[in-house]
Amino acid sequence: MTLITQVIFVVVMAIPTYLIVKRIRQIRGNILRGKPLDRSDQPAARWKSMLLVAFGQQKMFKKPIPAFLHLLIYVGFLVINLEVMEFMIDGLLGTHRTFAPYLGSFYNVAMNFFEFLALGVLISCVTFLIRRNVIKVPRFTKPEMKGWPAMDGNLILIIEIALMMAIFKMNAADQVLQARGVEGYHDTGRLLISSSLIPIFNLFGTGLLVFTERAAWWFHIVGIMAFALYVTYSKHLHIFLAFPNTYYSNLNAKGKIQNMDAVTNEVKSMLGLPVEAAPANPEEIGRFGAKDAPDLSWKSLMESYTCTECGRCTAECPANLTGKTLSPRKIMMDTRDRIEEIGQGKGEGKSLLGDYITKEEINACTSCNACTEACPINIDPLAIILEMKRYVAMEESGSPASWNAMFANIETNFAPWKFAPSDRFKWAEELNNEKK
């Protein structure tokens, strides 16, 4: 490689790196717009959750076939990046296959393994494209998946297929150039998968072969950097955020609803019960529950960026299955869209509740936690729904009439039913009288 080529390589690396860092800072700023939430307890349990759920993909294997295909892509993504590291070194130093002379025969073993994984990634991506566009798996055809979300899913698969094909073309052309004794092309040994393309490349002249090999190399480098930048705007950001998201998972038992400390202390004070010491400078409560994205916790906002839009939550939601408008996946997508809008200084006068998510949607939620249980990376749509329900009930008094009646009964009778506490066991007395 010439010095000019090395300079071009540095520029090609520097521009997307700058844009990626800028985008990461923007996402971090948006997440930190959320309310504080302490998730620093039980570090051992949190590491275990991250290793099993994010790294080990434990919950994915509830559906074995897509889980296996996803695992191929996941492992391929991690391992093939070792080859990309060699690309980077070659680009910076102006060399070609830096590791080949030092690793000897092991280099051939490693390259064949990389190609095997690349083939697995290619087959998996093609299969997922067929599932989305030919078989049309129901969870990919819900209303919230129309337009850009569907295109995003297809585009990322097509990009991955193109990147894998570039590897095969580069390696095949490289092997032919090695056989012709072209200077600078180190002996890599026979690469089983890409060698199937050698009969085609044998028809090329040496100049065209060099161009093809270099074009594939540059395509992969530019493609990797473009992919990394694109991911920060895509649902595939979960590739990175799945790890912190599972680490900061809610470790409480499913179904346990977190009470508001300010309300809990007020009730305890009214009942004459001990109250936890308040902080020296308590923050003023802006509102009860959440009307807009910044009213949610930072964890809920991070989950909105982590959402893979796989639809497993919506597929398990009993409300959605019975025809209700509620879709937990849409809740997460709407939350991400809204905090993005706020981060860009747009959408003044709008709010998450009302403009993005309707009362009809949140009122359909039964708080069953099926969505949280189904999520492969421990996202909790219910936390967002409950906060919006709190806002409607406590700030607007806008809950359905039957709910307000229940709330009033609980407040006055300590039970959902309209019976005084003294009359609560009359039904038992009547049964006893009948027996007599």
pLDDT tens-digit readout, 394-435? 999 898 888 888 888 887 887 888 777 777 777 777 778 776
pTM score: 0.89
Calpha distance 170→177 (Å, rounded): 11
Structure tokens, 270: 């009214």
Any domain includes 325? yes
pLDDT at 219: 94
- pLDDT value, residue 62: 86
Residues whose CB falls within 8 Å of the CB of residue 317, separated by 6 or more in sequence, listed in order: 326, 327, 328, 370, 371
Q: Is residue 276 part of a domain?
A: no
Tell me the C-alpha distance between 246 and 339, whole Å: 21
Residues 22 and 156 in one domain: yes
Shared-domain flag, residues 70 and 162: yes
DSSP string, 213-253: HHHHHHHHHHHHHHHHHHHTTSGGGHHHHHHHHHHT---SP
Both 137 and 167 in one domain: the answer is: yes
Angle, helix 381-394 to helix 298-306, in steps of 10 degrees: 130
User: Using alpha carbons only, what angle is made at residue 374 by residues 141 and 364, rounded to the nearest 5 degrees?
Assistant: 70
Q: Is 123 inside any structural domain? A: yes
- Domain boundary (180, 213, 247) is at 247
Q: In the listed set 224, 247, 270, which residue is the last one of a domain according to the structure?
A: 247
Q: Do 349 and 427 fall into the same domain?
A: no
Do 102 and 20 lie in one domain? The reply is yes
Residue with tokens 């390696």: 171
For the segment 201-248, what is each residue's pLDDT rounded down to a tens digit? 999 999 999 999 999 999 999 999 999 999 999 999 999 999 999 999
pLDDT value for 126 = 96
Inside any domain, residue 141: yes
Q: Backbone phi, then psi, for 162, in 5-degree steps?
A: -65, -40
Together in a domain, 327 and 415? no
383 shares a domain with 406: no
Residue 110 structural domain: 3-32+63-247
387 contacts 289 by C-beta, under 8 angstroms: yes
User: Would 131 be classed as within a structural domain?
Assistant: yes
For residue 257, the 8-state DSSP code is: P
Closest CA to 220 of 162, 177, 282: 162
Residues of the chain with pLDDT under 70: 1, 277-286, 435-436
| CATH number of the domain bearing residue 335 | 1.10.1060.10
